[in-house]
Structure 1
Amino acid sequence: MGSERMEMRKRQMSGQQESAAGGGTAPQPGQPGQPGQPGQAHLTVRNEDREERNQRASCDVAAEGTTDCDESLKPTAEEVRLWGQSFDKLMCGPAGRSAFRQFLRTEFSEENMLFWLACEEFSKETNKSVIEEKARLIYEDYISILSPKEVSLDSRVRDVINRNMLEPTSHTFDDAQLQIYTLMQRDSYPRFMNSPVYKSLLKSISEQSPES
């Protein structure tokens, strides 16, 4: 009996030594924290990006240097009616952009307006060093796939931007700005016109207007 116990103990000690020398059990696919398994980590990061997009998309009013979301911007009844005629008329004034931007925020797509506004300001720059710095910031904020405020652009426009970024000018984002403007016009504008937000605003403005 004594020799059997000794033999069993030797086998146990031998197994422990082999386990230590081999670095323990092999990691299982999908096990968190293991190197060489980026898929799960990448998925987690993208999910966090989507959540962060929803939380941060409307937090950049001051950073964009615009007061388009100022609640003091009260449109006239005529302005509100004109918004229904075309998207251009909605976007041509600060009151219209403010109302539309608030609507985009409810759809978690305010980054489209933020990008368009940033491009409007950027296109007015003439100083080369300022253009280069602002181009980099716009790229990081709205073009980079790592940004929670990334706007939706097709591959052709992205390729154009990537080439332009080698030597940015005030026209670097022209194609991208037009594509986002068209996206808002075709996709978001019709929903805005049919939204309770616009209908309520039109009704309240009309009621406040003096009767003819």
Structure 2
Amino acid sequence: MRMAGEPPSPAEERSANGCEQCKDFHPAPGIEGEIPMGSERMEMRKRQTSVAQEMPSSTQEEAGVGNRGSNACCFCWCCCCSCSCLTVRNRDERTRAASHELIIPSCEESSTPTLEEVNAWGHSFDKLMRTPAGRNAFREFLRTEFSEENMLFWMACEDLKRESNKSIIQEKARRIYEDYVSILSPKEVSLDSRVREVINRNMLEPSKHSFDDAQLQIYTLMHRDSYPRFMNSVIYKDLVESLSQKSAEA
């Protein structure tokens, strides 16, 4: 112990200078053998945790890029998605739709129309639709305009009206709805919102008249839109010419 006024010894001077230097010394974090204190220790832990979290994420992203073509994400709904589960689901939906599809012949059995009958079609859409031969000719024309579903829907409704068994009526009504009314169907017919609301109410307890309003709307659509073009079509003109030649030869 030194007395007051006595100058410090060389050892004490070295110790004091060393402490002053320690005040300005900050060890770099992450160097082995040095332990950061206080906020520096917390900062170091945060950095280590952040690096540990980012490394697996990056690895997963790189793996995902390599496997994207064969194992795409199931939650991707873009048009280019090649996810196998979506492919299976779409195939199942097509299979189910095909099994529920109403069986309507591609052509109704009918006798060859006379020239008078065909000429009458040109004056009355009702007469055209009342005969199988007229429906076949008109349906062939609709097929060229990619609107055959209108005739198919009308014919399905007519078939429903002829049914008397309640369980069969319900099954046919459900199939008509799935094939021609549902917005998911590729053969959906054009119906306004009012008629769709009526159909939805009727489907709570299906009957043979569940689609009467819709059938009338489609009938009117064919009459006003497709029928005038049918009268000027090659199909109708060729039929008239063919029957005229046969009539002249007879």
Q: Give the TM-score normalised by structure 1.
A: 0.73
Could you tell me which of 105, 123, 132 is aligned with 1:94? 132
> Deviations for 1:169-191, whole angstroms, at most 9, x for unmatched residues?
11100001001101100111001
The aligned residue for residue 61 of structure 2 is 24
Relative to structure 1, the CA distance from residue 66 to residue 36 in structure 2 (aligned partners, 3 Å threshold; closer, same or farther) is closer
Q: Give the TM-score normalised by structure 2.
A: 0.63
| Identical-pair percentage | 62
The aligned residue for residue 175 of structure 2 is 137
Residue 36 of structure 1: how far off its partner (Å): 4.7
Residue 65 of structure 1: how far off its partner (Å): 5.4
| Counterpart residue identity of residue 89, structure 1 | K
Residue 141 of structure 1: how far off its partner (Å): 1.0
| Counterpart residue identity of residue 232, structure 2 | N
The aligned residue for residue 156 of structure 2 is 118
User: What is the rounded CA distance, in whole Å, between the counterparts of 1:36 and 1:134 in structure 2?
Assistant: 35
Could you tell me which of 198, 204, 214 is aligned with 1:166? 204
Secondary structure at 2:206 match in 1? coil
Bigger radius of gyration: 2
Residue 126 of structure 1: how far off its partner (Å): 2.1
> Deviations for 1:55-95, whole angstroms, at most 9, x for unmatched residues?
xxxxx8x9125842x5x642110111000001111111010
The aligned residue for residue 63 of structure 1 is 103
Secondary structure at 1:38 match in 2? coil
After TM superposition, the structure 1 = structure 2 runs for residues 1-212 of structure 1, keeping only pairs within 5 Å, are 18-21=54-57, 23-24=60-61, 33-34=72-73, 36-40=75-79, 63-64=103-104, 67-68=107-108, 70=109, 73-210=111-248
Greater relative contact order, per chain length (Cα 8 Å cut-off, separation 6+)? 1
Query: How many residues get paired?
Result: 178
Secondary structure at 2:79 match in 1? helix
Unaligned runs of 5+ in 2: 1-49, 91-100
User: What is the rounded CA distance, in whole Å, between the counterparts of 2:191 and 2:244 in structure 1?
Assistant: 38
> Deviations for 1:99-148, whole angstroms, at most 9, x for unmatched residues?
00011111111111111001001012222111111111111111111111
Residue 210 of structure 1: how far off its partner (Å): 3.9
| Counterpart residue identity of residue 81, structure 1 | N
Relative to structure 1, the CA distance from residue 41 to residue 142 in structure 2 (aligned partners, 3 Å threshold; closer, same or farther) is farther
Residue 196 of structure 1: how far off its partner (Å): 1.0
